[in-house]
Amino acid sequence: MNQLKPVEAYVDDRPKDGVFQVHSDIFADPRIFELEQKQIFGKTWCFLALESQLPKPNDYIATYIGTTPILVMRDGKGRLGAFLNICRHKGAVLCRKESGNTKFVVCNYHGWAYTTAGKSADIKDVQGGCYPPSFETDDHDLIPVAKMEVYKGLIFGCLSPDVSPLTEHLGELRTFLDFAMEQGPQGMEFIPGRITYTFNANWKLQMDNGTDFYHLTSTHPSFMEVVQRRENENAGNVEAKMFDWSKRLTQQGGMFGFANGHTMVWLNQPQPERRPVYSRLGEVRERLGDAAAEWMLKLRNITVFPNMQIADATSLLLRTFRPIAPNKTEMRVYCMAPIGEDPEVRAFRLRQFEDFFNVSGFATPDDTTVYEDCQIGFAAGSGGWMQGYQRGMGATVKGPSDAARALGANPEYSVEGPWAIQNETCFHPTYRQWARLMSPVLGSSATTEDTL
């Protein structure tokens, strides 16, 4: 196998020359994948859970940061904590069940037990074990995640203690995260029943696709055809209340690129009455103001680098992607809604979610198929530089666009214009951050910076 190259051989970032390219090797090389676990997932804030998933003392959620198993728990006093989901005895995963409520976490292998505060509660048969004296003073507690913080109900963790505060990491993106997380006065929750599936392709394909408008008309034509047919034939039926995408294709929109790898695309919504939030718009205006209410009606897809996306397009969802191997990724997808939402509105919200994003819906099978098609091409090893990162470069401006400026938001750069741009500069922040984090181990012949 060829020697790994400097980071510029994988991300060619020269915006002043009109060049932004990503090399296909970063999607297939197992050595790159292993380095990503250390440099990206090991050193960056990663989304873990929604605070409302753990409403009671002793609730727990089992999740991952990259390939590292994690337990998020409320202790008996209701305090949140995050720990490696690994027994201190022989390294077995403690909780394989995704969620639950228990006073003690007990390892199936040798029976070591821990409290939900991560403290050692019992070492089976310790009295007759003839342990050396030093064993008594050893630390047998669960290993805590180095950093854990909460923003607007979103729980994040980082395996490295050497990381900036979460609010600094999220930066200017917080304005747009708030439009998702403040839709209800009591906070947000996941509707029971999440979707989990895997696809045989690299995790970065999902990272790209979550903000990719360009693929919609070619990858999902069946969805558009069915929605149009419903619109024409089933007026008044709940199925006819899905969005008519043909109307969206004439709208203005744009993208914002943020520091630390975050990105967002947006589009004006020509059918605001078909948004679940529309029914509570008066309350939102009173609580948050006109600007927030108007932005909640727009289509907004957000990537929070490196493992979480929020899509508020057909229905509000949160998805996480977990890298398992260079060519295997696990997805968890949740429909998110305001706590205490009207049952009729929630039913409509769920119907929109199922229609497009369910594994048996219109979008997900299409998307996973094209991801796997891409991975087959990457595995051939001769793909070279990918040319899918340049649409919209000619419309990019440094700093905020008019739309961002009106909100007081300050992204690093923006694109604003008609749908027809189907912009690809939304991928640039993620690969710039990828390059920054990978350059210490790959080396660099120059500093990879946004030089717009």
Q: What is the pLDDT of residues 349-368, one digit of tens each?
A: 998 888 766 666 567 788 88
Tokens standing for residue 22: 């990503």
Q: What is the pLDDT of residues 287-311, one digit of tens each?
A: 999 999 999 999 999 999 999 999 9
Res 201 pLDDT > 80: yes
- Find the mean pLDDT for residues 128-151: 95
Q: What is the pLDDT of residues 251-293, one digit of tens each?
A: 899 999 999 999 999 999 888 888 899 999 999 999 999 999 9
Calpha distance 230→414 (Å, rounded): 36
Higher pLDDT among residues 238 and 13, named by residue: 13
CATH number of 183-442: 3.90.380.10
Closest by CA position to 270, among listed 298, 234, 292, 296: 298
Calpha distance 302→343 (Å, rounded): 27
Tokens standing for residue 445: 């012949």
pLDDT of residue 84: 99
Asked whether the beta carbons of 258 and 411 are under 8 A apart, the reply is: yes
Q: Does domain 49-149 have CATH number 2.102.10.10?
A: yes
Question: Is the CA virtual torsion 46, 48, 50, 52 positive or negative?
Answer: negative
Structural domain spans, the chain: 49-149, 183-442
pLDDT band, very low/low/confident/very high, at 230 (cuts 50, 70, 90): low
Tokens standing for residue 378: 């990457």
Return the number of other C-beta atoms located less than 10 Å from residue 302's C-beta.
24
pLDDT band, very low/low/confident/very high, at 335 (cuts 50, 70, 90): very high
- Find the mean pLDDT for residues 237-243: 51
pLDDT of residue 406: 93
Residue 74: strand pairing partners = 80
Maximum Cα interatomic distance, the chain, rounded to a whole number of Å: 79
Q: Reduced to 3 states, what is the DSSP secondary structure of residue 82?
A: strand
- Find the mean pLDDT for residues 33-61: 98
pLDDT band, very low/low/confident/very high, at 212 (cuts 50, 70, 90): confident
pLDDT above 70 as % of the chain: 90
Calpha distance 123→92 (Å, rounded): 15
